Amino acid sequence: MPKILLRLCLLLALGLSALAPAAAAPVRTENAEAELVAEGVAVPGATVTVALRLVARPGWHTYWLNPGDTGLPTTIAWTLPEGVGAGPIQWPLPEALPVGPFVNYGYEGEVWLLSDIAVPKDFTGDRLDLAARADWLICAEICVPEGADLSLSIPVAATPSRDPAHLLGFEKSRALLPLPLPAPAVAARQGETLEILLPQDIQAKAAHFFPDQPGTIIAAAPQALEGSRLTATLEQGFAGERLTGVLVIESDGWTRGFTVDTAIAGVVPAAVTVSPAAVETAPPGAGGTAATSGIGLLLALGLAFLGGMILNLMPCVLPVLSIKLLSLSGRAPGAAMRHHGLAYTAGVLSCFALLAGALLTLRAGGDAIGWGFQLQSPLVVALLAYLFFVLGLWMLDIVSFGAGFMGLGDRLTRHAGPAGSFGIGLLAAVVATPCTGPFMATALGFALTRPPAEALGIFLALGLGLAAPFLAVSFVPGLARLLPKPGGWMLRLKKILAFPLFASAVWLLWVLSVQTGANAVAAAGAGLVLLAFAAFVLREFAGPGAKLVGLAAAIVAVVLAALPMRDAQAPGVTAHGPAGAEAYSAESLASYRAAGRAVFVNMTAAWCITCLVNEQVALDRPAVREALAATDTVYMVGDWTNRDPAITRMLAEHGRSGVPLYVVYPAGGGAPRVLPQLLTEGIVVEALSQP
């Protein structure tokens, strides 16, 4: 009898162990410990909550969704079975962590970051195998980027059950999630002061507001609570019209966090409502993050190289490359041509190294930026328009520059030395950044989640791919001989190539109009007139007076480009897309998803050539409009022409560092599908028609 009982106990223990998630051992880094933990079993047609359990070493901290003055939020890039979707991170209440003169928002010690994993009804496996790449920045006196590749195997069962070993951890974590406010709140600004009026029935002893968007309030500035009125200091230049974030209130015997999503008035309004539920800061990103989480460094380097080669075919790069190839026609293969190729490559790589360094430095400081970020500056856009315009005038032989400006003239001609080739390489890299082609997005998305050395290597591989065709012509005599012999045709072709440069200048002026409005375009147009006048004076008149007048005209043109010219009636960017398209917001997307609506999200920018081509040949077509109407799909457009941290976050969650990004969220809450970067009408219609 005792033996029978012992066997029954053993069988029962084995049965219970089969229903417990087989968690892998925690991964230990230098300063933290991380693991994935499941709340219970996975049930087809339902969700199971999985936590990233992250434990920082004593005295160190990790970061919240908005890291505050410095830092980066923790990210999770999921690799999931087909049909399985992952929801956004559910962020527990942050702490205000003073670090020298700064204040960060984050967590000391242990934090559980919850995500809901949706299992499709037709899932047939007996276990649900998950993998994720978690990356975090952990800081004390110094900051160290760390990460880990994690996995978890969850048993599948017909009925839900919770794992008693982790029940307390999940309950504690949910208790730290923000709740809706029980009554309306009010937000108003008085100059640079933000005022939040708490609901009258909350008797708060202390309160602190944590905005979920960087650049809202000065994190290090003290917040004061007087009665029911909380005051904070807005960031200089903040012009937002809504306030979103978490309000942490301490009262008698309890501390709670509440979500806030309310309009900001110039004076305190009578009443403003608060969101009825916790705001989801981003849509589920499982469909996109898997695109980068599963690749390795070598594959990312190869994809970056291929993406760089494809950039040579983009309309923003081809005119610049043509200028340099034209200058090599008729040259005999040899050391001089190889020097040109090496100098051009050095220029490309130098520009990509500078862009990578700036992007990674700003990211480490907490800025939300991505590929092509320099073209989000109206000044850079205007100066590039100036450069293309002046180059076009020179190629038409309308103007010359004299000895003082030969670096922008003769050194770019067929008589140019290596310095001219270096300059053309810099220019080609700068104008390539509006373009995002096949293979690039995956490589760049991977780069921006990796340590700085690996990220820099991927950026340089991209630059090497861009320089590869010119470098090949310079080093392989057989390819060089394919170039046509010099002759009178070269002068005509040189003049023909001026018109793509003029077209590029016009396109940049249009980008400027989208960014800042008509006033800025008028100022930049006046600058172009002044540049043409400067070139005319320098060509037609001699002497120091002419040079002084020409220099003054050029300086005034640059000053006009630098003036803030945003139109008062055009404070934002007009999203591209057909009539009825809705501007993207994470809150609206979450609301539509909760209601079971299908949503098509188009992330674009006015300076993105690939985006504009896709809109013309695929998106703005009758068949696509009919498919949107037939499937009752909401069309949302996120315009990244100017910097928008919400869009940057959306891109990052899908493993992208730049636009375009096209995501279809099926009706009924299915896993999102990321479409290719080069679209056709058929691809979009088919994606919209799939259940």
**193: domain CATH number?**
2.60.40
What is the predicted pLDDT for the residue at 271? 33
Confidence of residue 125 (pLDDT cuts 50, 70, 90): confident
pLDDT of 581 over the 50 cut: yes
Question: What's the helix, strand, coil split of the chain in %, to 5?
Answer: 40, 25, 35
Query: Does residue 201 belong to any structural domain of this protein?
Result: yes
Residues 265 and 263: their CA atoms lie apart, in Å, by 6
Which of 137, 160, 176 corresponds to the end of one domain? 176
363: phi then psi, degrees, rounded to nearest 5: -60, -40
Confidence of residue 65 (pLDDT cuts 50, 70, 90): very high
Neighbours of 419 (CB within 10 A): 12
- Do 239 and 304 sit in the same domain of this protein? no
Query: Does residue 592 belong to any structural domain of this protein?
Result: yes
Confidence of residue 421 (pLDDT cuts 50, 70, 90): confident
* HEC secondary structure over 129-156: EEEEEEEEEEECCCEEEEEEEEEEEEEE
Give the three-class secondary structure for 350.
helix
- What's the number of domains the chain is made of? 4
List pLDDT tens digits, range 169-199: 888 888 889 888 766 678 888 878 888 888 7
Tally of CA atoms within 13 A in the half-sphere of 146 that contains its CB: 22
What is the predicted pLDDT for the residue at 243? 86
Residues 193 and 226: their CA atoms lie apart, in Å, by 14
- Do 592 and 668 sit in the same domain of this protein? yes
The CATH number of the domain holding residue 91 is: 2.60.40.1250
Confidence of residue 568 (pLDDT cuts 50, 70, 90): very low
Q: Tokens 């082609």 correspond to what residue?
A: 437
Lowest mean pLDDT among 147-161, 422-436, 502-516: 422-436
Q: pLDDT higher for 683 or 431?
A: 683
What is the predicted pLDDT for the residue at 432? 59
- Do 169 and 186 sit in the same domain of this protein? no
Residues 556 and 563: their CA atoms lie apart, in Å, by 11
Residues 635 and 595: their CA atoms lie apart, in Å, by 15
What is the distance, to the nearest Å, from the Cα of residue 21 to the centroid of all Cα atoms in its chain? 34
- Do 648 and 674 sit in the same domain of this protein? yes
Residues 551 and 64: their CA atoms lie apart, in Å, by 50
Which of 159, 176, 193 corresponds to the end of one domain? 176
Query: Does residue 356 belong to any structural domain of this protein?
Result: yes
Query: Does residue 51 belong to any structural domain of this protein?
Result: yes
Residues 586 and 281: their CA atoms lie apart, in Å, by 6
List pLDDT tens digits, range 423-481: 777 766 665 555 544 445 455 555 555 667 777 787 788 778 888 877 887 777 666 56
Query: Does residue 4 belong to any structural domain of this protein?
Result: no
Residues 464 and 308: their CA atoms lie apart, in Å, by 7
Parallel, antiparallel, or unpaired: how do β-strands 633-639 and 598-604 relate? parallel
The answer to whether 650 and 282 are in contact (CB under 8 A) is: yes
Give the three-class secondary structure for 389.
helix
Average pLDDT over residues 612-623: 81
- Do 448 and 535 sit in the same domain of this protein? yes
Q: Tokens at residue 236, please?
A: 């200089």
Confidence of residue 80 (pLDDT cuts 50, 70, 90): very high
Give the three-class secondary structure for 515.
helix
Average pLDDT over residues 536-551: 77
- Do 364 and 505 sit in the same domain of this protein? yes
The beta strands (E) that lie in 328-473 are given as none
Residues 113 and 177: their CA atoms lie apart, in Å, by 10
Query: Does residue 669 belong to any structural domain of this protein?
Result: yes
Neighbours of 309 (CB within 10 A): 18
The answer to whether 458 and 444 are in contact (CB under 8 A) is: yes
Give the three-class secondary structure for 404.
helix
- The maximal CA–CA distance of the chain, rounded, in angstroms, is 116
Rounded mean pLDDT of the chain? 74
Give the three-class secondary structure for 229.
strand
Torsional sign, CA 413, 418, 423, 428: positive
pTM: 0.41
- Do 165 and 199 sit in the same domain of this protein? no
Lowest mean pLDDT among 294-308, 343-357, 607-621: 294-308
The percent of residues above 70 in pLDDT, for the chain, comes to 70
pLDDT of 371 over the 60 cut: no
- Do 324 and 427 sit in the same domain of this protein? yes
- Do 102 and 220 sit in the same domain of this protein? no
pLDDT of 306 over the 90 cut: no
What is the predicted pLDDT for the residue at 288? 36
Return left, alpha or beta for 304; rule: phi > 0 is left, psi -120 to 50 is alpha, else beta: alpha
- Do 335 and 405 sit in the same domain of this protein? yes
What is the predicted pLDDT for the residue at 131? 93
pLDDT of 649 over the 60 cut: yes
pLDDT of 377 over the 70 cut: no
- Do 253 and 356 sit in the same domain of this protein? no
Angle, vertex CA 402, rays to CA 524 and CA 331, nearest 5: 105
- What letter would DSSP give residue 373? G
Question: 318-328 and 498-516 are packed helices; what angle lies between their axes, rounded to 10 degrees?
Answer: 160
Residues 691 and 551: their CA atoms lie apart, in Å, by 63
Q: What is the DSSP string of 445-461?
A: HHHTTS-HHHHHHHHHH
Q: Tokens at residue 120, please?
A: 């499709």
Q: In what order do the strands lie in the sheet with 85-86?
A: 27-28, 32-38, 47-56, 110-118, 85-86
Average pLDDT over residues 602-613: 74
Segments forming the whole domain that contains residue 593:
582-689
Tell me the C-alpha to C-alpha distance, in Å, between residue 311 and each of 60, 359, 438: 43, 20, 9
Residue type, 416: A
Q: pLDDT higher for 687 or 356?
A: 687
CA-nearest of 323, 332, 331 to 424 is 323
Neighbours of 260 (CB within 10 A): 25
Query: Does residue 570 belong to any structural domain of this protein?
Result: no
Query: Does residue 191 belong to any structural domain of this protein?
Result: yes
Average pLDDT over residues 316-330: 57
Per DSSP, helices labelled H in 143-271 are 167-175
Residue type, 328: L
- Do 237 and 333 sit in the same domain of this protein? no
Most confidently predicted of 337-346, 419-428, 617-626: 617-626
